[in-house]
Structure 1
Amino acid sequence: MLSGIETPEGCSAEQLAREDLPRLTALLESWYPDIRVGTESRHLEPSFYEREFFLRGESPDRSLYGILVRDRASGDIIGLLTMERNVRGLQLSAALGVLEPSRRGLGIGFLGTAALEIVGRNIGAEVVLYYSTLKTARAQRNAENQGFKLVGLVPAFDVDAIAPGKVKRVYEALYSKVLVESERIHLPEWEALTPSTRALYTHLFGPHPAQTASVPAPSERLHG
């Protein structure tokens, strides 16, 4: 699954293993206090990994997979990316991406979106999905620089700590990258779309073929 991943200088990437769980869960809480609320809080429970993850050397049929990032010199864990596959839908999505705070802004974060695509291709996924926080622009840029397309803003997507002692539902950005050729993708029928979905489709993807076909050629306009 990790074949083809290029890590930044001084870092390595490896599959999450059972022996990493106690240290990892302790680090996550210290790096990212906001993880205590919302969907991501499940990553603080060793039993979550034991029950749901394809850990190194164990249960490859499980749907969740974790990549640890380590400092090559010290061997310390400095980051985690978790991914979830949908076997029937041939999809792969990112569940959590986090770095040790002193390593943020050094260019390591792009590894998450790059790895999502590479692992997706290696396991035969046909589309990869990435939800990004809107707390900072860094995660959004990482996705955009890797060729992911912003396809929506999801209101009230999850619960997050927006300030000390204040928890609210928050927006997140949804990014997508298609890994198959366009000939395998069926476009929605234009007549089946409401005015609002037509407007959004055109904004995101440009004119629909049905729109182009309905515009007469210049010669037809002249002689019609």
Structure 2
Amino acid sequence: MALIQVRDLVKEFDGQTILSNINLDLKEGDVRVLMGASGSGKSTLLRCLNRLVEPTSGSIVFRGKEVLGPNVDVRELRKQIGFVFQQFALYSHLTVLDNVSLGLRKLHKMGRAEAKEKALFELSHFEMTPHRDKYPSQLSGGQKQRVAIARALAMDPAVLVLDEPTSALDPVMSRDVADLINRLHGEGITMICVTHDLSLARNIADTVLFLDRGVIRADDRIDVLSKHSEPEIRTFFGDKETL
């Protein structure tokens, strides 16, 4: 059974259909990549998974249980589906250590000492322990990304959701993020990633889901999609010889 099953998911906003009959399976240990033009609904789909956005209709089953019902504990759901936002969403007034430990204290009800120990453990995985007392404004983009991922993983989620993890990074830092995602994959972390970065997509997953105007139109390898019979898909994946 898939860890997450999305069936016939629809999201409408002000009379406009943002997502239309989305079907998606995410298995334990998978890394799934979602790509598409700006405004295609990618980030909305991610936010539906942990109900940061409420779908209009359809079904999302997590670990065998429907999560769109009125009696679902959304806070517990969000503990299980960790989210790394495009602009990192770190608290500017908190240190690196406090950014990572805050959720442990507030959501997991850990004591300050236990939360600090757990936060330092996660930061050590990302070589960020020396920066524990810095504030986000004192960090590079790549360092902020590492803190954001450490904060999400500190909650021990079943799934890590990454929304454009390289959008604010230069090519060198982007490669570092790809290496980091592959390392997490090797450790068995289940992930779903939205990106515009073809290089990142090639480095972290065998296949890509292509979302176009709220509809999943393809799910295949990039080398196959770059020679797709539909010109829009072929153009997006950049095979210049076939244009």
Report TM bin, short chain. 0.3 to 0.5
TM-score w.r.t. the length of structure 2 is: 0.30
Larger relative strand fraction? 1
Structure with bigger gyration radius: 1
